[in-house]
Structure 1
Amino acid sequence: MAFKACEIGARYRKFKPHLLIVLIQIAYTFLYFIAEAAFNHGLNPHVFVTYRHIVASLVMLPFAYFLERKIRPKLTFALFIEIFLLSLIGIGLTLNMYFASLRYTSPTFIASMINTIASITFIIAVIFRLEVLDVTNPRGIAKILGTLLSLAGAMTMTLYKGPALRNISGALIHVGTNTVHENWLKGSILTAVSCITWSSWYIMQAFTLKRYPAQLSLTTWMCFIGGAQSAVFTVFTEHKPTAWSIGFNIEFWAIIYAGVVCSGFIIFLQLWCTKQKGPVFVTMFNPLGTMLVAFAAYFVLGEKLHIGRVLGGLTVIIGLYLLLWGKEVDQKFSTESQELSYEKGKEHKIEEVITSVDASKEP
């Protein structure tokens, strides 16, 4: 019984990052539709980004202060500037563009486009030598082919809409009528640029975590600084003071959910998974979110599902899991090589000790 419990515990520790990433994708699925309902109700996307990160920083502050008092590094000026840039790229720029694009497209389209983040992150990671790419073996070829397929699928979703599939039934839940006219070109551009900056944010996290490994504190700092940056941006883009007023309705609950769950604990979990498995791993489960969003949008909300989105989404998913297979096999090969080198090193040291002992016995 004890052996079985240990085996279950070992398996849990091994797959803990995978389980956490799945939970993150489920949480993000709810966010798409809650945010869309709030925007349809009149909530400004930039105000939404500002308020949610202020809420997140207030929620995470006590956890960061008390739980990381002994391990939190000293915040130098250079480190503060690095966190400031990290917040600007990941929150100030990315999320403002991301949620603004939701007003012009749809949750299904955005969730599909987010799949390209893994491929873009992989390309940047190769450039900065965070990922190994060997074109002489099947692992490297799978990574390259998967990246190209993912990008091709994203281009298909962006440029080809195609005929709509017939809904099996009407909408089970109505989130409101979108008061903003669809502008797929503008929305596509905003989404594509946000995917690039989002990928850069994941790469920057890997570097910053090496110098500031306190994940709760880093989450709190990013939310606070990102919220302040978004507030400044909103002041310049939204000149109506009434945009800042929030009623006790879907707008309020969208901000609370996004702040506490998505900007608070999810960022912390992503930082933990990035530290454990790397930035590319964190982005590889986005296709799960795509499938969850598409299922909810089509079967629950009655949203139109176009052939171009389906073909592009399937292409992205196939490419992404080719990349995942290449990375997992590559990581397994690297681990086995390290273990083999370690064993050889031990044998070499033992031989040296035996040789030295034999030499000391000689007259």
Structure 2
Amino acid sequence: MNGRNKLLPFVGMIIAVLAQSGSMVVIKVAMKDGMNKYVLVVYSMALSTILLLPFAFFINRSERPPLTFSALCSFFLIALIGTLGQIMTYGGIELSSPTLASAMLNLIPAFTFVLALLFRMEKIYWRHSRSQAKVVGTIASMAGAFVVIFYKGPPIFKIHSSSSYNTLQFSPNLNWILGGLLCAGDSLLSSIWYIYQVSVTRKYPAVIVIVFFQVFFITIQSGLFALIVVRDPSEWELKLDMGLIVIFYQAIGAIGIRYLLQTWCVQRAGPLFCAMFKPVGIVFTVLLGSIFLGDDFYLGSLIGAVIIVVGFYAVQWGKASEEKGIQNLETPCNVAPLLQNKA
């Protein structure tokens, strides 16, 4: 059972990361075709809410705890974190590229570790190498993120000459920096989401209900925001084009399946375990972005991503060493007492 309990969250997070990487690419495709990013969020969330509705009301209905006002407030707050993160992600991808957005996701383990320290979910013993590895790895991850944001560098490889898709009239370097900062902000919000999700799932362990209300509240929140920002009624028109395909992908894969898997994995394995899979996303995103968008991969992204990943795995080594040490301390030694008793 221990092997199965570790394998299922592992597979679940790989699928979730792949869905998120695909999401970044299709978002860029939709915006390249002229679809408004805020409208895309609203339609995707609304469709996902409709698809999740029957599952939320009929699966394991008799086994759920009562739905209280306190639980609804928790769902609303976790949805607000998700709404702000969605807005930052879409803006960051529009200004930069899916590859940079994916590189910024590698900040999530560092942010999660810092937040876990603040909320006393993690401890540091300064004289132990494992604690030193976690601190140094966290600092390295953040340093790597600054490299990705502020040093673009020459392209390493080019599929074809790709033009800029940015709609805001800034210089290319400023677009890149602003996009990176927005994506870094989304990573911070994602870390807060992971930490808070632990508390929510403990109070209300019905994952499908949590995800449904989260998506439902995000639909309302993002809808109100979009109505204020998007004034042109033609922006809300749906057409039989790539934008409609992207909405379906977002609703089913990037929102429904990914949110369910992430929430379930946080419940089963904890926030730091789930955060450790984010570096895998940059591999998926680089491949998908190169194939479907012809995105260039820049030297700064490579150097920064390598630093982030090294720092990330330093944190994970320290965490794994701590858990192994705790298990060794908790394992009773039956041999010595028996020998002593016989003597």
The TM-score normalised by the length of structure 2 is: 0.90
In 2, Cα distance between the equivalents of 1:136 and 1:303?
45
Asked whether 1:259 is paired with 2:251, we answer yes
Asked whether 1:158 is paired with 2:149, we answer yes
1:106 to 70, 89, 97: 97
1:222 to 214, 217, 227: 214
Counterpart AA for 1:49: V
Counterpart AA for 2:127: T
* Pairwise CA distance, 1:106: 0.4
Going from structure 1 to structure 2, the CA distance change for 1:340 and 1:63 (only over 3 Å counts) comes to farther
1:115 to 87, 97, 106: 106
Going from structure 1 to structure 2, the CA distance change for 1:63 and 1:337 (only over 3 Å counts) comes to farther
Any idea what SS the aligned residue of 2:259 has? helix
In 1, Cα distance between the equivalents of 2:306 and 2:18?
19
In 1, Cα distance between the equivalents of 2:332 and 2:126?
23
Q: How does 1:1-363 map to 2 (within 5 A)?
A: 11-90=3-82, 92-167=83-158, 169-170=159-160, 178=165, 180=167, 182=172, 183-298=175-290, 301-340=293-332
Which is worse superposed, 26-35 or 332-341? 332-341
In 2, Cα distance between the equivalents of 1:246 and 1:24?
27
Aligned to 1:356: none
RMSD, aligned α-carbons: 2.3
Which is worse superposed, 18-27 or 209-218? 18-27
How big is each residue's C-alpha offset from its partner over 1:230-260, in whole Å with a ceiling of 9 and x where there is no partner? 0001011111111111112211111111111
How big is each residue's C-alpha offset from its partner over 1:102-157, in whole Å with a ceiling of 9 and x where there is no partner? 11000111100111011001100111012232222121111111111100100111
How big is each residue's C-alpha offset from its partner over 1:177-204, in whole Å with a ceiling of 9 and x where there is no partner? 7262541232223222222122111111
Any idea what SS the aligned residue of 2:94 has? coil
In 2, Cα distance between the equivalents of 1:52 and 1:71?
30
Any idea what SS the aligned residue of 1:102 has? helix
* Pairwise CA distance, 1:38: 0.7
In 2, Cα distance between the equivalents of 1:302 and 1:313?
20
How big is each residue's C-alpha offset from its partner over 1:33-86, in whole Å with a ceiling of 9 and x where there is no partner? 111111111111111111111111211121121113122222222221121111
Going from structure 1 to structure 2, the CA distance change for 1:177 and 1:144 (only over 3 Å counts) comes to closer
The TM-score normalised by the length of structure 1 is: 0.85
CA contact (8 A) 1:155 1:312 kept: yes
CA contact (8 A) 1:68 1:216 kept: no
In 1, Cα distance between the equivalents of 2:157 and 2:251?
36
CA contact (8 A) 1:72 1:217 kept: no
* Pairwise CA distance, 1:205: 0.4
Counterpart AA for 2:154: P
Which ranges in structure 1 are unaligned for 5 or more consecutive residues? 1-8, 352-363
Any idea what SS the aligned residue of 1:165 has? strand
Counterpart AA for 2:128: N
How many positions carry a matched residue from both structures? Answer: 332
